[in-house]
Amino acid sequence: MNLDRALAALPRAYPGPGGAVAVLRDGEVLARHAWGWANAERRIAFTPNTLFRMCSITKQFTCAALLDAFPDPTVLDAAVRDRLPLLDLPPPTILDLCHNQSGLRDYWAVAMLLGAPVESAFGDHEAARLIGATRSLHFTPGTRFSYVNQNFRLLSDIAQDRLGRDFAEILRARIFDRVGMDSAILAADTRAMPDGTEGYEGNPIAGFRAAENRIVWTGDAGLGASLNDMIAWERYIDASRDDAGSLYGRLSGPVTFADRSPAAYGFGLGRSMEFGRAVIGHGGALRGWRSHRLYVPAERISVVVMFNHLSNAAAAALDVLAAMLGETRPSPDRTLPTPAWTGSYIEPETGLAARVEAADPGHVRLRFGHSAELLDLRADGEAGGTTRLRFTDNSLWMDRRGENLSSPLRPADGSAAMDAAGRYRCAELDAELTVVDAGGVLYGAFSGFLGQGRMELLEPIGKDMWALPCPRALDHTPPGDWTLAFQRDDRGTIDGATVGCWLARGLSYRRMASGRL
């Protein structure tokens, strides 16, 4: 049977200490399987009852609890304003938070600008200080999509204040007990799980080691649940599939941007097409943990994959779904040549670098978001995936429909000069960027109230434009390369820079008077 073969292949195709998978159809469990070790050092087996960090899958549960408590969540709009006291623009609404359309910069990314060391602590105090200091947005609320973890921390904090109960109690009373998620908990402190389960970094060649996490998650990524808990959630989803007014029906309904164009994300759930079918789901990731769950309404199929290591749980879930549907994962045409439009560009609205590179046959690699994307080459000269690249009217266009963004890219012509060394200050963040010429090579690092970040080798992009890599961060993956776009005064001297990444962009830095190094 295709499903049996797909399930048997998972431990080898996605190797690591342990994992679990469940498959349901018509609300009935077809597969409930766990393998390997929840804690390899203590030899604790991974079972369907093992507690697991579900990470960002938490977001849909946060929204579910909010909708259950406040059928009209817009009554909470004023509470959003109250938590952003320094914001000098119209604030996002509660629904903007739910749909990742708030315009806020992601606080895990901004933490790196504030000098957070890779494995430093980040708790309630740090989160409140960073969120409360927000003075600007990187787009007008409702007009774009940007993944922002603190949107959902704000939701859970607001729910706690309005309901007068701890968020863990709210989840238990409004979701877990009703659904039958008997062992699910809010495991906000990421240092340890109560049953000893560990998340691991590494790979089979270099070996695996327990991943260190010192973040406090709440409504953004704090859910701890077993495979059996997630099966209960999937059965609830299928049982209420025909009721648009049900809790999950409201969570998974259509969402739009302010201009009425359809949005691919809402209430902590992504909407996509896979194998010609509409799919609703979400992934979860933290250092040492990867998970993914999806539901195909037309087929009444649910798939849940959980790894306590860094393998691609989303790809594994699609492998299992393909087996259920009798489909095959599409492959690119490997005979197509690399297009002539590879190179470095600037996306004008965000000011971020978009670098298009040759990859393996049939693909190009796009570096724009928080991680590189492999795009399939097409016979019509385009390249596509989540992002679409097309050469039209002598311009390379980038379409990111999920973000409501479509724009011509501007070539990043010229060479990056070496005179950028110096100290730069961002008044909005009260933070610094330091660029050092270390033996004819530029390095850069950020610093602020969270500490002093490590020096990283800068990568030249184009004229007065560099990338500052962020290969590790507080969150499960780094925020991506930071684009450093330096500006010059009338005399041709660099006097400032605009710094940004996909998660946090448009921040202005001024060169300090004593900043030349």
pLDDT at 371 over 90: no
Q: What is the pLDDT of residues 234-287, one digit of tens each?
A: 999 999 999 999 999 999 999 999 999 999 999 999 999 999 999 999 999 999
CATH of 422-511, one of 3.40.190.10, 3.20.20.80, 1.10.3720.10, 2.40.128.50: 2.40.128.50
pLDDT in tens, 449-495: 999 999 999 999 999 999 999 887 887 667 889 999 999 999 999 99
pLDDT at residue 18 is higher than 80: yes
Residue-level pLDDT at 475: 72
Catalytic one of 59, 156, 252, 311: 59
Residues 6+ apart with CB under 8 A from 212: 119, 287
pLDDT at 24: 98
Query: Residue ranges per domain, the chain?
Result: 2-57+166-325, 343-411, 422-511
Per the DSSP assignment, residues forming a β-bridge with 200 are 210
Looking at residue 63, its pLDDT comes to 98
Give the per-residue pLDDT at 350.
96
Range from 1-5, 54-58, 104-108, 324-328 carrying the lowest mean pLDDT: 1-5
User: What CATH topology corresponds to 2-57+166-325?
Assistant: Beta-lactamase (3.40.710)
Report whether 387 contacts 368 (CB < 8 A): yes
Q: What is the pLDDT of residue 514?
A: 65
How buried is 85 (Cβ within 10 angstroms: 0-12 exposed, 13-18 middle, 19+ buried)? exposed
> What whole-number distance in Å separates Cα of residue 15 and Cα of residue 203?
8
Q: Please work out, in degrees rounded to the nearest 5, the angle formed at the alpha carbon of residue 145 by the alpha carbons of 81 and 153.
A: 45
pLDDT of 70 higher than 90 = yes
Q: What is the pLDDT of residue 356?
A: 97
Tokens representing 459 are 């990568």
Burial 372-411 (b: 16+ CB within 10 A, else e): ebebbbbeeebbeeebbbbeeeeebebebebbbbeeebee
Give the mean model confidence (pLDDT) for residues 423-431: 97
CATH architecture of the domain covering 343-411: Beta Barrel (2.40)
Which residues are paired to 44 by β-bridges?
39
Angstrom distance (rounded) from CA 288 to CA 420: 37
pTM above 0.85, yes or no: yes
Asked about 311 being catalytic, the answer comes back as no
Whole-number Å distance between alpha carbons of 465 and 212: 34
**Residue 113 above 60 pLDDT?**
yes
Q: Residue 488: CB partners within 8 Å, gap ≥ 6?
A: 464, 494, 495
**Strand partners for 499:** 484, 507
Q: Is the pLDDT of residue 515 over 60?
A: no
Q: What is the pLDDT, as a whole number, of residue 339?
A: 95
Q: What confidence category does residue 370 fall into, taking pLDDT thresholds of 50, 70 and 90?
A: confident
CA atoms within 13 A of residue 277's CA, in its CB half-sphere: 20
Structure tokens at 488: 């010059």
pLDDT in tens, 389-413: 999 989 999 999 999 999 999 999 9
**Cα(506)–Cα(311) distance, integer angstroms:** 32
153: left (phi over 0), alpha (psi -120 to 50) or beta: alpha
- Token pair of 402, please? 């999920």
Average pLDDT over residues 289-308: 98
In tens, the pLDDT along 146-176 reads 999 999 999 999 999 999 999 999 999 999 9
| Residue 463 annotated in active site | no
DSSP state of 176: I
* Torsion, Cα of 354, 360, 362, 364 (10° steps): 0
Given the residues 56, 226, 252, 291, select the one marked as catalytic. 56
Within this chain, domains 343-411 and 422-511 share the same CATH topology: yes
* pLDDT of amino acid 476: 65
Tens digits of per-residue pLDDT, 202-238? 999 999 999 988 899 999 999 999 999 999 999 999 9
DSSP string, 87-119: --SPPPPHHHHHTT-S-PPPHHHHHHHTT--TT
Does the pLDDT at position 516 exceed 70? Answer: no
Task: Round to whole Å and give the CA distance between 500 and 507.
Answer: 6
